Chains A and B, each alone.
Chain A
Amino acid sequence: MPETNPNDSIRAAGSLVCVGLNYKTTPVDVRERLAFPEALVPEAVKNIRALPGFAESVVLSTCNRVELYASHELPEAAQSHEALRNFLVSHFELQPEHAEAMALYKLDAAEAARHLFRVVSGLDSMVLGETEIFGQVKAAYKTALETGSTGKALNKLFQQAFAVGKRVRNDTMIQRGSTSVGSVAVDLAEKVHDLKECRVMLVGAGEMSRTCAQSLLSRGAKSIIVSNRSYDKAVELATEMKGQAMKFDEWEHALHEVDVIISSTSAPHFVIRKEHVEQVMRRRRWEPLLIIDIAVPRDVEPAVNNIEGVYLYDIDALQAIADEGRRERERQLALCDKIIEEQLLKFGFVGS
């Protein structure tokens, strides 16, 4: 990256503003009113740029945030904030009471740059350190670029933000570990099998097991079998996941064919017992078997974990791993913010 003249950035940052709302400031019933449909973002970007005194604009609209970034030539940042607020009200045709209830953050210059750097790095996300936001900001910038709505200031700002985002992720462990039960299940499955060859079986079709299965499928799991006491529900879920439904009294027959079992029945006793799994391991040629038991009361006899090649995780074990992942990421926050402050200084957004 070419050397930046700090004075250029300070001048550019002087006209930079950001107006937005996110999951911290605004409840979902208000956020959903203010979300820009993807197809309408280019038009919105052009409309903001056409506002009097505005030179450039980028619209970032995700399920957790709506943010408008712009550069302007107005004498006061407050004027530009007001103009952007009014744009949102008129664009979404908000009733006065909704407009009043809209809690926006209004940032300018270095604050706006700092906020964007934190957003791109995943530090402002609901799941700390998540990576999806990086792609979403890139897509938002690309849309604005393609409509010709960005210029020197925003091009520079967003390029710097992407560099900072990469640096934060590379130099810290903000992405390390899993923070949800679904992602822990995926991580475990990845360390037992090659996910592309991984066959999954759901015993019981609860909401949590559906989430875990979807996470595995989205990461490339090969196939899925759904077995449930209500066969209709099994068929419904199997159809949704492009898998195969199985009657509940047949799940044992498929035990030797699958690599991951996610169990979440409402049975008051153990459904998967040690003898079920022991019998099948030789037939499986000792291929490792991951069993994720998210039922309460538990579906899988704990002694199953003593069988060679079988790895059993119940809901408490999964939750403990997810909690540790979150704590680990929180411990990284200070380091991430330090990197961002260094970069703000380097790019000239703040003075030394």
Chain B
Amino acid sequence: MRADVSFEGSEASTGQNARKGGFIRGLTDCQKQPKTLFDRLGGSIAFLAQGFAVFVPSSLRKGSSLASITFPPLIPLTSIFLLAATLTFAAAVVQALLALRSGRWKQDNTQILLMAIGFVLQTAFLYHRGQEVGQCPMKSLPDILVFIGWSVVLLYFLVGSGFRLSLLGVFTAPLVTVVQGLALLQGFNPYAVKGKINALVELHAAMALIAYAAFALGCITGIMYLVQERLLKQHRIGGLFYQLPPIQGLAKAIQRLVSLGLVLLSLALAISFALHTPVSNPKLVFSWIVWGLYAVIAFFMWRHVTSPRRTAWLAVVGFVLPFISLWIVTHA
């Protein structure tokens, strides 16, 4: 297989590739070229070598005889971080499922360690992606998905331990894996270059996305509530029952997460007044709709209008709206 970028040019090409369309697009470009089985095998070896090449300092590479070998475009470092983070969260899901299935689940350090490694890798991705695009990476849908995934894990560490919600990681990891998987499938496009960064805009966007992460965690806690409630009603007292927290604690956690998300979204929307954004801006319109929905849910919780079970359903189903709105506003 003839590749178009040499080893020496790897760092430059990484940036170019990122600008061309990111991990999935980069791969697709490479995979279009091989015609024969041999070509494909060669392509795979080259692909594995790229992963190694990313971690080899350029000073070492220049003197190497490998320098004469040519490879297809390198996987961007950012995508490697994201792929590794996603695989780590997927491993956390598998580990938990195997443990639960065998009935040997215990709240041990393995789950927390995997979540922590995933979080570090997510943070590394966001940092490098921010460097690439020269601003907070929150403009495209894949970037937003990753930022929400990061915020969900951050809140998991802050909230999970505070509420002593064992198994929250088990329910969080699949969501983050799916969200980041979607981001990887979409690929990462370049941004239009910004003249000057407005701190208020960045703060507004970051707060709104962390609010969405709180709603996501509220959705996860809602699922935990509904599962535990069902087990209790049906007298199915088994492995999962013993690991899930008391339903009263879960109901309180949902209430607090929805309230936290609502406060953060309110602040984000308050900031938008200072930005003189047109009222018809689709992002703003959807943000207000989401705010309205969660304000109603929070009111129901506060006034005990409905039972905790119905409130849990609202927290679960309600999250569909912010999730869909993200897709709509980024494609509008």
A residues with a Cβ closer than 8 A to B are 173, 176-178, 184, 187-188, 190-194, 281-282, 285-288, 305, 308-309, 311, 313, 317, 320-321, 324
Contact = CB atoms under 8 A, between A and B. Distances in A.
Contacts of A305: 233
Interface of B: 103-104, 228, 232-233, 235, 237, 239, 241-242, 244, 246-249, 251, 304, 306-310
A193 B233 contact: no
Contacts of B248: 192-194, 287-288
Contacts of A324: 237
A285 B104 CA distance: 37
B104 to A, nearest CB: 7
A209 B314 CA distance: 38
Contact of B235 (A192, A285, A286, A321): A321
Contacts of A194: 246, 248-249
A311 B232 contact: yes
A315 to B, nearest CB: 12
Most interface-central of B228, B232, B249 (chain A CB within 10 A): B232
B304 A285 contact: yes
A176 B244 CA distance: 14
A288 B237 contact: no
A210 to B, nearest CB: 23
A191 B304 contact: no
Nearest to B311: A286
B233 A192 contact: no
A286 B303 CA distance: 11
5 contacts: A173-B104, A178-B237, A191-B228, A286-B307, A288-B247
Given A286-B308, A309-B307, A321-B237, A193 B103 contact: no
A191 B247 contact: yes
B309 A187 contact: no
B232 A191 contact: yes
A324 B238 CA distance: 9
A308 B306 CA distance: 10
A286 B304 contact: yes
Given A285-B304, A288-B251, A308-B310, 8 more contacts: A188-B237, A194-B246, A194-B249, A286-B307, A286-B308, A309-B308, A311-B232, A321-B235
A291 B234 CA distance: 14
A173 B103 contact: yes
Contacts of A184: 237
Nearest to B246: A191
